[in-house]
Amino acid sequence: MKTPPRAAASAALIDSAIFGDMFATDAMRDIFSNAGTVARYLAVEAALARVQGRLGIVPAAAAEAIVAAIDTLDIDIEALRISANTVGYPIVGIVNQIAEACPGDAGQYVHWGATTQDIMDTAVVLQLREAFDLVQAALSSISGRLGTLAESHRDTPMAGRTHLQHALPVSFGYKCAVWQSAVLRHRDRLDGLRPRALQGQFAGASGTLASLHPRGLEVHAALMRDLGLLEAPCPWHSMRDSLAEAVNLMGLISGTLSKVATDVSIMMMTEIGEVTEEYAAGRGSSSTMPQKHNPILCEMIIGTGRIVRQNAALMMEAVCSDFERATGPWHTEWHAIPQAFVNIGAALAHADDLLANLAVHPRRMADNLAISRGGISAEAVMMALGAKIGRKSAYALVYRAVRAAQDRAISLAEALGEIPEVTAHLPHDRLDALLAPANYLGHSGDIVDRVLTIARERRAES
């Protein structure tokens, strides 16, 4: 394929020689690259000629010549660029180059009965099929990494936080299981999406296949079988909900990955230090501060995720189409779909790297649990005392003790031990047991087990 000189001067981050690997993976970039897109245009045109020749819609010899020409065709990208800028779409230029490469009059049968959007839409669906496989494989790997962390730290106590404050103890395994549960749902969503999103398009100029009547639907069915796609019951030239659903699912996935990255980056704070990204030479370092170990993978996940979600919103605009063929909304997809999928590919790769090498620090988790001098387990005392004197009265007594402990910088156990109404029902050894964070993890371990069971069942089904 002939490459124009301007390709070397890309202004897009995903193609940048400097930043490209932060925002894209080679596998996903290849699918949506110029070469990948043109290859799928050609694959659809070849399949159309093949099935029409087989069905006798066009002469069999012409169909064979078209397929042979496509197999050896070296698309002139510069000529295609000029044509696309003139026409507004790339397919006329593609068809012209195929026709010129065909011997005799075979070229007149290229693109028979099709319309530009048929080829472009079906090519996008072929790209989505491959992209879905990459996303599903990445989600599977990430789920496995989270499952390993959840199982390893099923009973590792740490501070649960609400509104950025200590709430109640949880286990780190529980936190990982909560993350994993969302990943498992995304895998199910992706499976459910495939039948809707992987329907090819072949409907002709206004969607009625009038130029091929009465055999248009027959050609449609044969074309989709040849390409391994599903048949669309009716045209979707101006009904873009399935593509919007696909990109918005990538937005949901990016949101989950960003949530994990946000949690990890906060837990990496010097003042918290409960987990850290992998220590590797130069990873997350500063140009001037030797002590820095920045959450660089988290930053890339969060950054790419925001781009994905903005493109998901842009795809919603593409749904607002007019009549049988849109005047503009379609063009927004040409940006939003490749951008969203290339960026989610990068976010998934960074998340997999992050979780594969995450360092967990149980001792620091224990130190942070002790910061409140027992305050994080105040609810445990309140509930035990409430069973004796009523919840409202118990809350008032424990609240008084918490305030006293904070004001006087003593432990909650000491403050509670000074209140006769408390010790009358809860002796000191009982208070100590209630205030131990490891004794108030609730169903953290059971929840981990349930999520791991779902993950195992999902693997068995796969």
Strand pairing category for 275-276 and 165-171: unpaired
- pLDDT of 291 reads 67
Taking all residues of the chain, what is their mean pLDDT, rounded to a whole number?
Answer: 92
If one compares 26 and 366, the residue with the highest pLDDT of the two is: 366
Q: Is the pLDDT of residue 7 over 60?
A: no
Q: Is the pLDDT of residue 366 over 90?
A: yes
Please list, in sequence order, all residues whose beta carbon lies within 8 angstroms of the beta carbon of residue 4, skipping any fewer than 6 positions away: 77, 78, 81
- pLDDT of 21 reads 72
- The whole-number average pLDDT for the span 221-234 is 96
- pLDDT of 88 reads 87
Which pLDDT tens digit goes with each residue over 81-137? 999 999 988 999 999 999 999 999 999 999 999 999 999 999 999 999 999 999 999
Share of the chain above pLDDT 90, in %: 83
Which pLDDT tens digit goes with each residue over 131-178? 999 999 999 999 999 999 999 999 999 999 999 999 999 999 999 999
Structure tokens at 51: 């099935």
Q: Is the dihedral of CA 61, 66, 70, 72 positive or negative?
A: positive
Cα–Cα distance list, 177 to 137, 260, 368, 445 (Å): 19, 11, 21, 10
Q: Is the pLDDT of residue 5 over 60?
A: no
- The whole-number average pLDDT for the span 398-411 is 94
- The whole-number average pLDDT for the span 327-345 is 91
Asked if 286 is an active-site residue, the reply is yes
Helix axes 378-389, 391-408, angle to 10 degrees: 140
- pLDDT of 4 reads 52
- pLDDT of 109 reads 95
- pLDDT of 320 reads 87
If one compares 317 and 175, the residue with the highest pLDDT of the two is: 175
- pLDDT of 229 reads 97
Q: Is the pLDDT of residue 416 over 90?
A: yes
Domain extents in the chain: 127-206+232-368, 373-439
In angstroms, rounded to a whole number, what is the distance separating the alpha carbons of residues 348 and 305?
10
- pLDDT of 454 reads 96
Enumerate the H helices of 89-115 as residue ranges.
Answer: 91-101
- pLDDT of 11 reads 63
Architecture of domain 373-439: Orthogonal Bundle (1.10)
Confidence label for 319 from pLDDT (cuts 50, 70 and 90): confident
Q: Is the pLDDT of residue 26 over 70?
A: yes
Distance of CA 246 to the CA centre of its chain: 10
Please give the backbone phi and psi of residue 16, each rounded to the nearest 5 degrees, phi first.
-70, 135
In angstroms, rounded to a whole number, what is the distance separating the alpha carbons of residues 44 and 228?
11
| Active-site choice (286, 335, 428, 443) | 286
Cα–Cα distance list, 131 to 124, 134, 187, 198, 311 (Å): 10, 5, 13, 11, 16
Q: Is the pLDDT of residue 2 over 80?
A: no
Among 353, 355, 347, 301, residue whose Cα is nearest residue 148: 355
- pLDDT of 287 reads 61
CATH numeric code, 127-206+232-368: 1.20.200.10
Q: Is the pLDDT of residue 262 over 80?
A: yes
Q: Is the pLDDT of residue 203 over 80?
A: yes
Which pLDDT tens digit goes with each residue over 53-66? 999 999 999 999 99
In angstroms, rounded to a whole number, what is the distance separating the alpha carbons of residues 57 and 44?
16
- pLDDT of 326 reads 76
- pLDDT of 460 reads 85
Cα–Cα distance list, 408 to 414, 419, 427 (Å): 10, 15, 22
Which pLDDT tens digit goes with each residue over 280-306? 666 666 667 676 678 899 999 999 999
Please list, in sequence order, all residues whose beta carbon lies within 8 angstroms of the beta carbon of residue 439, skipping any fewer than 6 positions away: 377, 380, 433
In angstroms, rounded to a whole number, what is the distance separating the alpha carbons of residues 57 and 212?
8
Asked if 428 is an active-site residue, the reply is no
